[in-house]
Structure 1
Amino acid sequence: MRQRIDVEKEVRVEREVLFTYLNNIFEDNKSQYVGIQSSQTLVPLILQIAQINQQFQLHELRKLEDNIEESIASLREATSLDKRSSELVSALEEGVLGKWGMIDKQANVMRIRGRSRGRGSFVEHLAEEVASNIEFRASSITKDTSSYALSANQAVSKQITLSLALSLIVMIICCAIIFYIYKRIILRLIALTNLVEKNSDEVASFEGSDEISRLAKTFALYFERVKSQETELIRLSLSDPLTNIPNRRAFEMEMEKVIAMSKRYEWPLTVIILDVDSFKLYNDNYGHPKGDECLKAVAIGLNEVITRNTDFCARYGGEEFVAILPNIDEKGAKVKAEEIRDAIESLGIEHSKSTVSPVITASLGVATVNFVNHHNWTLTSILNTADRALYDAKTGGRNRCVFSSLP
């Protein structure tokens, strides 16, 4: 009992001395402690120190000890202390928290009180103190764990937010790239494909300076070459390679068009079949090269007489030629046929084996068709009529024109 009274008295004396000293500092307003006097942390610290002697549970005393440590640390960090103020804070810390400081002495008082109680209640109070300490430590651990969990949660939330922001940025960039590809490549390829499928001339004017526009120019060049080759092939297929005038196929195509036009407007139509007299004898006597030259000259002479844009002449085969004279009646046909015959004879190509003339001559069969009364005349019927007239010209002595008409 005597020991407990002495220890409690010692704790009270130290507290009174400490408070008297601090009170003198504030009342005298000493200039060397201006830094600590202006601190807002000092007053709460003094109040916490004043509560030391009021603690009767060990775990409550340990909590108060932690709070005093935090306050002293805050006092050092929150103010710019001079040397004297810093020494004062260190002395205060040593007197309260140091070995045999006020906290330790108050704990000693509590232990002495516990021992002064009856032997029967010692174990009970000891268990209470142990439980209090365990509760205090558990509370501290829970507090630290909660603080760590909160920090971890904030870090995870920050990472999630950052990941979402980056994902959004990547998505926007991808959408922009897709839109650019769609607009600059896919749409232009679709437009180019449509133009190519339509074989449009707009392919040559496809705008741009990238690979697609160069591809369009390549297509345009290809189309131009194809069209040129197609035109040349058509020309060759419809042209006689020896005389360079239209061939029989071109003649038949032209006849179909002219017959349709004559039927529509009820025009007369004249067709002339020309055969070079004794041409086989000419070939046998002068040779085939001379025969080819002779046919070329006849083609030129025929073209010089057939001058209208609507007229047409062609090589029908071998030494036979044909001429189409739309909107020419029998009277005009006779004039034009004689001009053709005279033009061939006027070429003056020597033909010593001819039984008709010393030069090349021709026999002509002329058929004139009138579509006013009948529209059923065909290419075959017209050619048959002209062919019969040619036969009559040959059997009648050659170098002449024979005329026939269809009503």
Structure 2
Amino acid sequence: MISGKKQTIRLFTYAQLIILILFTIVTIFAVYRLSNLGYTLENLANESMPNIAKAASFTNRIQSLSTLTSILTGSTSNPARQLAKQKVDKSIQLVNQSLLGTSDANSYLTRQLATLTQEINELDTLVEQRILQEHMLLKSREKFTYEFSKLFQSINTNIADNKLENKLLDILLLAMQIDQQTRMHALRQIESELAKKLKNAIDGVASSQINTKASLTDIQTHLIGNDGLVTQKIQFLKIVGRTRGRDSFVRNLIANVSSNLDYQNQLTNQSTLQAANKANDSATEYANITVIVGLFSFLLTLGIIYFLYKKIVSRLISLAQQVEMASEHNSTEIHINGNDEISQLAERFSLYLARMKEQESALLNMTLTDPLTAIPNRRAFEAQLKETMAIARRNEWWVSLFLVDIDFFKDYNDHYGHSEGDACLRLVANEIHKIMARNTDFCARFGGEEFVCILPNTNPNGAKLKAEAVRKAIMSLSIPHAKSAIGDTLTVSIGSGSFLFTQHDNWMSDIIFEQTDKALYKAKRNGRNQCDFFAIDE
């Protein structure tokens, strides 16, 4: 009996030892699993999420380069060019500082940025050459004007000189067209006509009028010589073309860098999601093992299992599920009851997701809004036009398109300064936006001094009324414009195109825009401060 009691006690002791060992194993396993899970969640909070935020900031800086490059390309003086170049260099420097690690992807980005820097430097050189050429062209023009005025004053009032005076006036009118031309073949035609008229004028001068003939020869050299106004204008147009080409190439490079960044961001987001899924799997696995061991330990471990499951496991599962749902449904609500590390981690997740959503919204708004006028930009217009055309095809609607161009805006800028020019653009944009009263109407800044409006379900008569309303509204602003050739206040020219989408599924946005642009060109050619209309209903 004593031996039996001892055996019972021994068995009871062994059972207690087994339970104690099992409890110890469960405890050690739980601590180990929680440590791994905590480490995974800590990595998510301290590494992956800050990396995503930095990547978003990096993308924003890259995209801002496009705007800064446009400012550099559009510089009209060396101080403005140098200031724009400094901003571009500062932006590139910040982008380089934002690169993390030494991975192959970042090395590729570094090479892309190096290439982009080189191309921007070459663009800067072209802009500098363009400004220098423009300055030389201005000086040559002034010299020609001086020589021509000097010759004109030296002419007597006899009949022969009256004929010469008429010829000189023809030459002057033709020479004035040099500044207005933007195509080289037109300049060549002007050069040919000038050569004929100058030869005719020189041949018509009597041999005794040596000074007059010499002056005409000098004017001929100033106009059509090897370094004359026509040649300098052609050189200027070539530099302008090269500058635009380089600017387009730089923009494409920036777009490529941005695409590469988007790809890297997708990889980072995918890695973060995989880490969250891993944390979820670990928590689920731990819960299952704890339940199985709890069956063996029964009374002793049942309370521990219940406590751990309620206090830790279920909350971790909830956290992982909420993180996954927030990632899939673009939500920012993650809530875990309690006042410990898990609830704090849930708050950090909520804060991060909210910031992420704000940054994405701000980034999208920046890409679709013109920073100067606060109305949609050209990219937003292109997207809106495609959407409007698709709706018009389904409903067989009219679609009307406006192109609004401020008359002689370059002269306005030159006279009043760019700050006043920017204020003028904001006033015009606000007035056009007010005229577009319907919710379906759309207006945007197309670039420079041009604005564009889309009026869905608007026929030609409605387009005419709305276009005239816009033109009169701008005139009613009474913005002083001392350098306007058609009045004392600011005016606009408007090209309107109306298109009926019936049996015309093959119409493209480029065709619609091109026809509207032709209408605008016609309005400007016919004297400006007017509207020209174009409609297709077949």
TM-score computed with the length of structure 1 as normaliser: 0.60
Task: Show the counterpart of 1:30.
Answer: none
Equivalent AA in structure 2 for residue 209 of structure 1: G
Q: Distance in 2 between matches of 1:243 and 1:396?
A: 29
Superposed, which structure 2 residues align to 1:152-231 within 5 Å?
A: 152=3, 154-165=5-16, 167-168=18-19, 170=23, 171-172=297-298, 173-199=300-326, 200=329, 204=333, 206-211=335-340, 212-231=342-361
Deviations, residues 146-185 of structure 1 (Å, cap 9, x unaligned): xxxx745642442222332454475343454244324432
Equivalent AA in structure 1 for residue 499 of structure 2: V
Equivalent AA in structure 2 for residue 312 of structure 1: F
Task: Show the counterpart of 1:363.
Answer: 493
* 1:312 equivalenced with 2:439 (yes/no): no
Equivalent AA in structure 1 for residue 304 of structure 2: I
Unaligned ranges ≥5, structure 2: 24-296
Q: Distance in 2 between matches of 1:306 and 1:209?
A: 53
Q: Distance in 1 between matches of 2:517 and 2:531?
A: 12
Structure 2 counterpart SS, 1:204: coil
Q: Distance in 2 between matches of 1:268 and 1:383?
A: 15
Task: Show the counterpart of 1:102.
Answer: none
Equivalent AA in structure 2 for residue 395 of structure 1: R
Compared with structure 1, are the counterparts of its residues 203 and 358 closer, same or farther at alpha carbon in structure 2 (3 Å cutoff)?
closer
The count of aligned residue pairs is 258
Superposed, which structure 2 residues align to 1:252-291 within 5 Å?
A: 252-291=382-421
Equivalent AA in structure 1 for residue 335 of structure 2: F
Does the CA-based 8 Å contact 1:192-1:203 persist in structure 2? no
* 1:338 equivalenced with 2:189 (yes/no): no
Does the CA-based 8 Å contact 1:204-1:216 persist in structure 2? no
Structure 2 counterpart SS, 1:270: strand
Q: Distance in 2 between matches of 1:290 and 1:161?
A: 95
Compared with structure 1, are the counterparts of its residues 347 and 263 closer, same or farther at alpha carbon in structure 2 (3 Å cutoff)?
same
Q: Distance in 2 between matches of 1:215 and 1:264?
A: 50
Q: Distance in 1 between matches of 2:387 and 2:19?
A: 71
Structure 1 counterpart SS, 2:510: helix
Superposed, which structure 2 residues align to 1:2-151 within 5 Å?
A: 151=2
Q: Distance in 2 between matches of 1:373 and 1:289?
A: 48
Please say which structure displays the higher CA radius of gyration.
Answer: 1
Equivalent AA in structure 1 for residue 13 of structure 2: L
Over the matched positions of the two proteins, sequence identity in percent amounts to: 42
Task: Show the counterpart of 1:303.
Answer: 433
Equivalent AA in structure 2 for residue 325 of structure 1: L
Q: CA RMSD in A?
A: 2.0
Task: Show the counterpart of 1:406.
Answer: 536
Q: Distance in 2 between matches of 1:364 and 1:203?
A: 46
Does the CA-based 8 Å contact 1:195-1:203 persist in structure 2? no
Structure 1 counterpart SS, 2:480: coil
Deviations, residues 101-144 of structure 1 (Å, cap 9, x unaligned): xxxxxxxxxxxxxxxxxxxxxxxxxxxxxxxxxxxxxxxxxxxx
Compared with structure 1, are the counterparts of its residues 203 and 371 closer, same or farther at alpha carbon in structure 2 (3 Å cutoff)?
closer
Deviations, residues 187-235 of structure 1 (Å, cap 9, x unaligned): 3323322221232577636341143233222212222222122111111
Q: 1:248 aligns with which of 378, 398, 413?
A: 378
Compared with structure 1, are the counterparts of its residues 201 and 285 closer, same or farther at alpha carbon in structure 2 (3 Å cutoff)?
closer
Superposed, which structure 2 residues align to 1:375-386 within 5 Å?
A: 375-386=505-516
TM-score computed with the length of structure 2 as normaliser: 0.46
Q: Distance in 1 between matches of 2:520 and 2:332?
A: 53
Q: Larger helix proportion, structure 1 or 2?
A: 2
Q: Distance in 2 between matches of 1:201 and 1:255?
A: 28
Structure 2 counterpart SS, 1:398: coil
The Cα of 1:256 is off from its aligned counterpart by 1.4
